[in-house]
């Protein structure tokens, strides 16, 4: 299915039936919000940062991995008009400022804005957003550049490109209406993946 353009995006945002509507909130500046075939989203102000000093390795086959992930990663909040300095090779988990509700007939991809890319800032590695998803989209942000980059919550950071799906699908994922970045969650998959882990 082809990418839907601004006109179609607006149609989906104006649908009367709540289940069919594409919700994006908040919207500050509609001129800045819409591109020809995408919408721009902003950087949220909650981040998950890594505490490398905490322990040597992250092994999801280990049954205590959930606790270990919490030791390794810490959620912080940066106020608006405050800086967050991302150093070269540093990975953080952020999220969109906006809360999105994707109707069952649409899906989207998160793509970093090229201006940031040219500075070495990679915005999203897990880019697909399923039909029916509701929440703030988690963004894996890494500085692949040579110099530290200053980030400000609220600045446009990425864009969402929408496709219509061939049929309606409901979201069945792990993350339930997230309102900020989410810690990685392997719990749902671990049982199914045990085949691939060493036998203890």
| Catalytic residue of the set 140, 164, 187, 191 | 140
* Cβ neighbours around 117 below 10 Å, total: 14
Please select the residue that binds another protein; options are 51, 70, 77, 128, rule is CB under 8 A: 77
Which tokens belong to 157?
């950071």
Tell me if 102 sits within 8 A of 121, measured CB to CB: no
Residue 6 contacts another protein per CB under 8 A: no
CA geometry: angle at 197 spanning 195 and 200, to 5°? 105
Residue 188 contacts another protein per CB under 8 A: no
Q: 81 phi and psi, to 5 degrees?
A: 70, 15
Residue 51 contacts another protein per CB under 8 A: no
Please select the residue that binds another protein; options are 10, 49, 60, 91, rule is CB under 8 A: 10
Residue 29 contacts another protein per CB under 8 A: yes
Residue 49 contacts another protein per CB under 8 A: no
CA distance 99 to 135: 5
Greatest Cα-to-Cα distance within the chain, rounded to the nearest angstrom:
58
Q: Assess whether 140 carries a catalytic annotation.
A: yes
Interface residues with another protein (CB under 8 A) are 10, 13-14, 18-19, 23, 25-30, 76-80, 99, 101, 134, 176-177, 179
Catalytic residue numbers?
Answer: 140
């Amino acid at each position: 299915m082809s990418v839907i353009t601004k006109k179609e995006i607006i149609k989906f945002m104006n649908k009367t039936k709540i289940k069919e509507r594409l919700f994006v909130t908040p919207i500050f500046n509609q001129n800045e919000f819409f591109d020809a075939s995408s919408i721009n989203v902003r950087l949220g102000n909650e981040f998950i940062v890594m505490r490398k000093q905490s322990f040597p390795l992250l092994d999801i086959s280990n049954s205590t991995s959930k606790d270990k992930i919490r030791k390794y990663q810490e959620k912080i909040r940066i106020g608006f008009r405050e800086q967050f300095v991302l150093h070269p090779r540093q990975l953080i988990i952020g999220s969109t400022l906006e809360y999105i509700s994707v109707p069952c007939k649409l899906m989207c991809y998160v793509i970093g804005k090229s201006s940031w890319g040219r500075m070495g800032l990679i915005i999203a590695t897990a880019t697909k957003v399923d039909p029916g998803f509701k929440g703030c989209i988690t963004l894996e942000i890494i500085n692949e550049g040579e110099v530290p980059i200053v980030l400000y919550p609220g600045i446009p950071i990425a864009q969402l490109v929408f496709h219509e799906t061939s049929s309606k699908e409901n979201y069945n994922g792990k993350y339930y209406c997230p309102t900020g970045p989410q810690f990685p969650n392997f719990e749902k998959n671990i049982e199914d993946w045990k085949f691939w882990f060493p036998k203890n």
